[in-house]
Amino acid sequence: MLMRLVLHPKVSSDVQAIMEYYERVAGPELADDFYSELRRFMLEAAGRPESFSIRERELRRVNLHRFPYHFLFRIAGDSVRILVVRHHQRHPTLGIRRQ
């Protein structure tokens, strides 16, 4: 069963900053590849959210395969709420307090 996918309002700026970086350093194709992979994993999280382990404070983590980024989400009723998209090594507390 596909759960409803809800993005925290700041997720779009998280994604935009990452895509702008990839466009700047490697071109729009890499930015598009990043977005495609991110979207695929978000849909996967909505389809089987409990298959991703809880890391801390009821937050589950999904690592992208090709890119050094992950996103954190929580299950809220019938929804998967994505709170942050962030780099594996930078700003380890970014988004933790988002609801």
User: Between 18 and 89, whose confidence is greater?
Assistant: 18
CA distances from 55 to 61, 79, 91, 98 (A): 7, 18, 16, 15
Mean model confidence pLDDT for the chain: 92
The pLDDT-based confidence of 56 (bands split at 50, 70, 90) is confident
Residue 98 has pLDDT above 80, yes or no: no
The CATH superfamily label for domain 4-87 reads RelE-like (3.30.2310.20)
pLDDT in tens, 64-91: 999 999 999 999 999 999 999 999 887 6
Each residue of 29-47: pLDDT tens digit? 999 999 999 999 999 999 9
**Helix, strand, coil % over all residues of the chain, rounded to 5:** 40, 30, 30
Q: In the beta sheet, which residues pair with residue 81?
A: 6, 74
Q: Cβ(73)–Cβ(82) under 8 Å?
A: yes
Report pLDDT for 96: 67
Res. 49 pLDDT band, cuts 50 70 90: very high
pLDDT at residue 11 is higher than 80:
yes
Smallest CA-to-CA distance from 95 within 1, 6, 4, 8 is with 8
